[in-house]
């Protein structure tokens, strides 16, 4: 044996360290670095049918996200029970940053007061990611003999003729808007429930009922053509979707603000850095002029809120919707 090698081996043995251990120290595996997010397709559950407004919005925003994240965005439609089925499925999904859900004023604010069981908790099963936009409602009429060109005149007319002016209500949101308006404005109108916007607006246009409350998306074509007159919009501020139409809040009902909304949520426990990164990409998407224009075209007013802002907003919305639903005894038929 080489004298130097023999000396080294003897010193190692004397110190109680084996040559194998020394050699092994140089062979320790290097700790793998985490793979940057996202490294596989992202799934976004839309709890409504394909082709509905929420689905169209999510596919529009999803397209922008897929380009900015350089990753596929898979929109999965899981409709049923007013959105509850899809949201419940998302709540049970892994909180790994690869599943999100499009939540609405229905799924995350109103439904818990309308259904006996949701299959999830909107308050504890999700982390807020970002607000996408608002969907204002509009009070409209086609009655040529209705001397109401604005909300103040409508209120005066309702008080003069209590419970004789019928208002078509094609959705739960329309029912909530109506109940809050009757209460806040002290305007005794009579609500008539419909199963769809098409049915309600057909009856208004045909003269069967004088008024309707519906989404801007549904009513705008008839308003633009002059067949319907818009009396007021239900958002706190005027909307560029209906230029010249004043908010209800500026027509004798201060503070009136009842709108539908769409936002993105993640299963509770999703890594905060992923949540904030996705929120930043959503903010950039909503700032794109083409995206804004296309959202307005489908009746959604772009509005970004970051995770903290959205969480606070939803916490305030839940009791607001609940109070109106309970007071008006609104139920799912």
Q: Write down the H helix ranges in the chain.
A: 3-14, 19-25, 53-69, 84-91, 105, 151-160, 172-185, 197-205, 216-224, 272-286, 289-297, 307-328
Q: Is the pLDDT of residue 30 over 80?
A: no
Among 28-37, 48-57, 100-109, 318-327, name the one with the lowest average pLDDT. 28-37
Of residues 204 and 5, more confidently modeled? 204
Which of 124, 123, 122 has the alpha carbon at shortest distance from 47? 122
Distance of CA 111 to CAs 105, 177, 293, Å? 8, 15, 30
Question: Which of residues 250, 272, 298 is at a domain's end?
Answer: 250
Check pLDDT > 60 for residue 305: yes
Which of 199, 227, 250 terminates a domain? The answer is 250
Of 221, 33, 74, 52, the residue nearest 140 (C-alpha):
221
Does residue 4 lie within any of the structural domains?
Answer: no
What's the CA gap between 303 and 265, in Å, rounded? 15
Mean pLDDT on 297-317: 96
> What sign for the dihedral angle of Cα 18, 22, 27, 29?
positive
Calculate the alpha carbon distances from 151 to 83, 141, 180, 249, 328 in Å: 32, 11, 14, 9, 21
Q: Does residue 305 share a domain with residue 211?
A: no
Mean pLDDT of the chain: 90
- Is residue 11 scored above 90 in pLDDT? no
Instruction: Among 250, 282, 315, give the residue marking a domain's end.
Output: 250
Decide if pLDDT at 57 tops 90: yes
**pLDDT score at 18:** 45
pLDDT digits (tens, 9 = 90+) for 223-273: 999 999 999 999 999 999 999 999 999 999 999 999 999 999 999 999 999
Q: Is residue 6 one of the residues assigned to a domain?
A: no
Contact (Cβ atoms closer than 8 angstroms) between residue 110 and residue 81: no
Q: What is the pLDDT, as a whole number, of residue 34?
A: 67
The answer as to whether 1 is a domain residue is no
Q: Among residues of the chain, what percentage have pLDDT more than 70?
A: 89
Question: Given pLDDT bands bounded at 50, 70 and 90, which one contains residue 35?
Answer: confident
CATH of the domain at 232: 3.40.190.10
Residue with tokens 């067949």: 227
12 within domain boundaries: no
- State yes or no: pLDDT of 33 exceeds 70: no
Task: Tell me if residue 260 falls in helix, strand or coil.
Answer: strand
Q: Where are the beta strands (DSSP E) in 17-174?
A: 42-46, 73-77, 99-104, 126-135, 137-141, 166-169
pTM: 0.84
Mean pLDDT of 188-195: 95
pLDDT of residue 12: 43
User: Kindly report the CA angle at 266 between 262 and 267, in degrees rounded to 5?
Assistant: 130
> Does the residue 108 lie in any domain?
yes
Contacts of 101 by beta carbon, 8 Å cutoff, 6+ apart: 44, 45, 46, 47, 86, 87, 90, 91, 126, 264, 265, 266, 267
What is the number of domains present in the chain? 2
Co-location of 146 and 202 in the same domain: yes
Q: Are 84 and 120 in contact (CB under 8 A)?
A: yes
Provide the residue range defining the domain that includes 172: 137-250
C-alpha separations of 93 from 48, 98, 179, 220, 287 in Å: 18, 9, 36, 38, 30
Tell me what pLDDT residue 29 has. 55
In a domain, 21, yes or no: no
276 and 286 within one domain: yes
Per the domain annotation, does 174 fall within a domain? yes
């Amino acid at each position: 044996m080489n004298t130097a090698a023999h000396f080294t081996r003897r010193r190692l043995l004397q110190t109680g360290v084996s040559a194998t251990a020394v050699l092994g120290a140089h062979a320790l595996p290097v700790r793998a670095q985490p793979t940057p997010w996202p490294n596989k397709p992202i799934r976004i559950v839309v709890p409504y049918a394909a082709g509905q407004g929420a689905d169209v919005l999510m596919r529009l925003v999803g397209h922008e996200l897929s380009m900015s994240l350089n990753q596929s965005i898979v929109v999965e439609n899981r409709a049923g029970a007013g959105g509850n089925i899809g949201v419940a499925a998302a709540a049970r999904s892994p909180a790994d940053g690869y599943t999100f859900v499009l939540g609405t004023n229905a799924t995350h604010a109103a439904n818990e007061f309308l259904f006996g069981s949701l299959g999830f908790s909107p308050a504890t099963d999700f982390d807020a990611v970002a607000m996408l936009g608002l969907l204002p409602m509009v009070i409209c009429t086609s009655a040529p003999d209705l001397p109401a060109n604005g909300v103040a005149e409508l209120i005066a007319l309702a008080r003069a003729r209590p419970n004789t002016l019928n208002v078509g209500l094609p959705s739960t949101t329309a029912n909530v808007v109506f109940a809050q308006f009757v209460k806040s404005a002290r305007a005794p109108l009579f609500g008539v429930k419909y199963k769809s916007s098409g049915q309600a607006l057909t009856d208004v246009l045909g003269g069967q009922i004088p008024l309707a409350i519906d989404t801007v998306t549904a009513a705008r074509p008839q308003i633009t053509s002059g067949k319907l007159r818009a009396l007021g919009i239900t958002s706190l501020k005027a909307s560029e979707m209906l230029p010249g139409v004043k908010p209800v809040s500026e027509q004798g009902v201060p503070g009136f603000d009842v709108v539908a909304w769409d936002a993105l949520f993640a299963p509770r426990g999703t890594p905060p850095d992923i949540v904030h990164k996705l929120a930043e990409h959503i903010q950039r998407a909503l700032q794109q002029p083409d995206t804004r224009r296309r959202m307005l075209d489908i009746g959604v007013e772009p509005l970004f809120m970051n995770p903290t802002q959205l969480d606070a907003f939803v916490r305030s919305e839940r009791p607001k919707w609940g109070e109106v639903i309970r007071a008006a005894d609104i139920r799912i038929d």
